[in-house]
Structure formats: C-alpha cells, structure tokens
C-alpha cells in the first residue's frame, strides 16, 4: 500500500518530452500554470485540454498513470467544488435546507474544479517525464542568477536532490519496518483512530532512528569524498538547448499568448 504513492514519480520513457531540456520543462510548466490562471473562459480551458492531451500522447505516459496522481487530491477538488457551489451569490436555481445554489455558483464551481485538475495533471507531467536528478539540475541552473543576491542555489539544489533521492529509500524502510511489526502481530488496518495513531509509534520510532543513521552515513560519505559544496563544482554532463527545446519554447509562448487573447478579446 505504501508503494501506491506516486508523488514526484518518474515514468521511464524515451519520448520527445522526456528528452527535452529540464529547464525548458520547468519554465514551461510555470508558464502553463500562470496561463491557467489567466484563462477566464471555458473555451480557453477547452484549448488547454487539447494541448495537454496532445502532450500526454507525445510523452507516451499512460493516461491511467496520470489520473492516479489525482486520487490523493480528489477530496480537495470535491471540497472546493462544494464550497464554490454554495458560497457564490447570484441568481438562485435551487435551494437545499439553508443553502442556495446559484447559476453563478455552478459556473464558478465547475470552472475551479477544471482548473485544479488541469493544474495537477500538467504539473505531474513534469515529474513523470523528468528524472529527479535532471529536475534539480534544471532548478539549480535557473536559480543561478539569484546567487548574486545571496541565494544559495547550489545548496538548495543539493538539498532537493538528496531529499528526492531518499524518498524511495525511506518508503522502502517504512515498508520493511511495517512488515517487521506486522510479523510481531501489529495491526495497522483496523481499530479506531486512537488505536491506529498508537500503532504508528512502533513504525515512527525505528523510522526516525533509521533516517538519522542514513543521514549521518551520507554526510560522512560525502565528506570522505571531499564534498564542500560551492560554485566551483563542475558537472559530468552539461545541459545544452537543442532544436526541440526551441520548438517547445515557441509552443509554450504561443499557449500563453492564446490564454491572454482569450481573456482580452473574447
């Protein structure tokens, strides 16, 4: 059950999208998110859905995999939908108890739900098609200009790399500890909320101890290989923009322009 978590998961593949420069993908995702907030009409979302569908098709990541990322935030989507449904004032179309449902409310709620779904699928596409290590490389590059004003871009990137690197390790560790305690008769699946919270102690204590041990070993191993951070580190593969990246850049700019046009002219 612990393996079901797909947060920041990478889907191995060799599509055009996978091969794009991580920097262009990060900027592209950012622009896409901004564009979703610029769009204020359904027709704009229709265009966004078509673009997104095309990108998913090209990336060869199964749709099933994409939708799985929606599961954990399904509750949030429903919550915002219901909230919007009841909280927007306007022309009343139905009444439930003391709440009024308005035409504007339905419009707003649907609109927000679509926006949220597009937001999540779009941004999960980034992590699904980019190896974590490339992702942090890209972030480091993009943050570099800010190091002039004191932002520790290398340290930040290294922290992210390590954090991402240890997600699977810690999940595996959790899985192992859970199994070990289950073998001793621990039951994590039944009982009320207090019982379940109490059952977490036998997992959390060993997990924290493991995490500290791993962190210490890691720090030691890095120091033993003379790691001291800093700007002078070179890397094994340097990133270069290619033709495909230029095309991607143009397409993203076109998407942004379309969003603005929808807002201004329609």
Partner 1 sequence: MSIQVKNLTHIYSPGLPYESVALDDVSFNIEDGQFVGVIGHTGSGKSTMIQHLNGLLKPTEGSIIVDGIDLTGEGVSMIDIRKRVGLVFQYPEYQLFEETVAKDIAFGPKNLGLDEEEINRRVREAMDLVRLDYDKFAEKSPFDLSGGQKRRVAIAGVIAMKPEVLILDEPTAGLDPKAHRDVLEMIVDIHRREKNVTVFVSHNMNDVARLCDKVLVMNGGKCVLQGTPKEVFAEADMLRSMGLDLPDVTQMLYELKQKGVEMPDGVFDIDEAEKLILDYIRGGKSVD
Pair of tokens at residue 107 = 């419009």
As measured in angstroms, the least distance from the Cβ of 43 to partner 1 is: 36
Fill in the DSSP letter of residue 184.
T
Choice between 52 and 177, CB closer to partner 1: 177
- Region binding partner 1 by CB under 8 A among candidate stretches 96-104, 138-146, 171-179, 235-243: 171-179
Answer for which of 155, 172, 187, 223 binds partner 1 (CB under 8 A) is 187
As measured in angstroms, the least distance from the Cβ of 206 to partner 1 is: 5
Q: How far apart are CA 16 and CA 244, in angstroms?
A: 8
Is residue 205 a contact residue for partner 1 (CB under 8 A)? yes
Q: How far apart are CA 240 and CA 221, in angstroms?
A: 30
Q: How many residues does the chain have?
A: 266
As measured in angstroms, the least distance from the Cβ of 22 to partner 1 is: 21
Residue 63, CA distances (Å) to 11, 115, 126, 232 in order: 12, 18, 14, 42
Is residue 201 a contact residue for partner 1 (CB under 8 A)? yes
Residue 169, CA distances (Å) to 84, 216, 221, 245, 254 in order: 40, 15, 17, 33, 41
Choice between 183 and 236, CB closer to partner 1: 183
Choice between 60 and 263, CB closer to partner 1: 60
Is residue 223 a contact residue for partner 1 (CB under 8 A)? no
Residue 93, CA distances (Å) to 16, 82, 101, 211 in order: 48, 15, 6, 55
Is residue 182 a contact residue for partner 1 (CB under 8 A)? yes
Site of interaction with partner 1 (CB under 8 A): 3, 11-12, 176-177, 179-187, 201-202, 205-206, 209-210
């Amino acid at each position: 059950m612990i393996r079901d978590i797909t947060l920041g998961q990478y889907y191995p593949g060799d599509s055009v999208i996978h091969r794009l420069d991580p920097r262009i993908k990060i900027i592209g995702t950012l622009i896409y998110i901004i564009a979703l907030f610029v769009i204020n009409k359904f027709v704009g979302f229709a265009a966004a859905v078509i673009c997104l569908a095309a990108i998913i098709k090209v990336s060869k990541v199964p749709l099933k995999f994409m939708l799985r990322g929606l599961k954990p935030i399904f509750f949030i989507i429903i919550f915002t939908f219901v909230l919007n449904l009841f909280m927007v004032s306007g022309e009343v179309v139905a009444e439930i108890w003391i709440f009024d449902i308005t035409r504007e409310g339905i419009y707003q709620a649907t609109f927000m739900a679509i926006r949220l779904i597009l937001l999540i699928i779009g941004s999960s596409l980034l992590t699904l098609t980019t190896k974590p290590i490339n992702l942090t490389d890209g972030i480091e590059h993009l943050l570099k200009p800010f190091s002039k004003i004191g932002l520790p871009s290398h340290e930040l990137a290294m922290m992210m790399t390590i954090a991402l690197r240890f997600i699977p390790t810690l999940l595996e560790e959790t899985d192992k500890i859970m199994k070990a305690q289950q073998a001793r008769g621990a039951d994590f699946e039944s009982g009320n909320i207090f019982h379940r919270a109490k059952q977490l102690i036998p997992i959390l204590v060993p997990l924290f101890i493991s995490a500290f041990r791993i962190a210490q070993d890691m720090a030691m191993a890095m120091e033993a290989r003379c790691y001291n951070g800093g700007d002078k580190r070179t890397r094994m593969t340097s990133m270069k923009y290619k033709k495909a990246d230029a095309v991607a850049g143009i397409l993203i700019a076109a998407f942004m322009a379309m969003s603005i046009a929808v807002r201004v002219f329609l």
